[in-house]
Structure 1
């Protein structure tokens, strides 16, 4: 009985040309498919994080009538997760750390509320009673618009000084003016956030 031969038949030149032609077509289809996937990814928004909106950062002059000071503002933000495709870097997820240059004005951590930045602080000995010695607490609230660079400072207090001073709320307007950058740049988004899944930040 004759065993079947396992010897491969030599390839002729026409056969080799056909193989090369099929390889070229396959490679072209792969390149086209890759281009289509890349276009679809960009269209559907699977790219990197969205462009961050700008927030206040630097040294600002504070003017409230005869009261002048400087605010040094450091932003600190975390990404806002939208539809889990990309981090949304929005001002609403930021805090502005406001550091005053003197005691004539207060500082604090401002948050964006109703399109204005706002922070409040309590001064234990913020008001001097008519006797010139006794002190009373006050509450100060600062609200400012980073577009118009204007704001209001509200000072409130309850009845104090053994009834000599009745509770009141006084509001003072002020303006801000940019004076220069921070002496040491800060990273607005210091946390690392996972690119997928639950978008945990740490």
Structure 2
């Protein structure tokens, strides 16, 4: 099917650009630093994010290290969430750490919380919390899953959150701590 009949060359190029445009893709690890974490119904927090990466060994199994997404596959983000105080239960629940990996172009990590949900009778039950975010938009989704607990059916909630870069880390982190040669031997 020819759709370019009567279209100018500029219109064809514009249509091709729009047709191939998609959502933002990961560009690699975000800058190491402190980020403001904001989620509706959750206490404000600070995420300390820093990446640790395996040094590229230049083996044929990995195609192109100049592609930031390929290079990011060799990285993990250490995420430490803190709140200004630990006075309330929700503030204590907002202090956690995890190791994020690139999954479907989102940095994703899970945090098991033994007291993650409040039951109708006032007791608590375990949840599995998953945080996934895009390093370009700094927007993400917090998914909370619980089993058949507290007399309730298993359930899941999804809540959007945002991150905002606050400051670089006071002490830089060595992103590639291993020294590897061309055949992948590291010391």
TM-score normalised by structure 1 residue count = 0.65
Is the partner of 1:107 in helix, strand or coil?
strand
Q: Does 1:76 align with 2:76?
A: no
- Separation in 1 of the partners of 2:41 and 2:127? 21
Q: Tell me if structure 2 keeps the 8 A contact 1:79–1:88.
A: no
Is the partner of 2:73 in helix, strand or coil?
helix
Q: 1:101 — aligned with what?
A: 82
Q: Using the TM superposition, give the Cα deviation of residue 178 of structure 1 relative to its aligned residue in structure 2, in angstroms.
A: 0.2
Q: 1:11 — aligned with what?
A: none
Deviations 1:42-72 (A, max 9, x none): xxxxxxxxxxx75221000111124311100
Greater percentage in helix:
1
Deviations 1:79-131 (A, max 9, x none): 233346xx937111101000011334343000011111000111111122211
- Separation in 2 of the partners of 1:54 and 1:124? 32
Q: Tell me if structure 1 keeps the 8 A contact 2:59–2:184.
A: no
Q: 1:169 — aligned with what?
A: 156
Please identify runs of 4+ aligned residues in structure 1 that moved more than 6 A: none
- Give structure 2 stretches of 5+ with no counterpart: 1-26, 84-91
- Separation in 2 of the partners of 1:158 and 1:54? 34
Q: 2:167 — aligned with what?
A: 180
Of 104, 118, 135, 1:146 maps to 135
Q: Which has the larger radius of gyration?
A: 1
- Give structure 1 stretches of 5+ with no counterpart: 1-52
Of 114, 130, 152, 2:104 maps to 114
TM-score normalised by structure 2 residue count = 0.70
Cα RMSD, aligned residues only:
2.1
Q: Using the TM superposition, give the Cα deviation of residue 193 of structure 1 relative to its aligned residue in structure 2, in angstroms.
A: 0.4
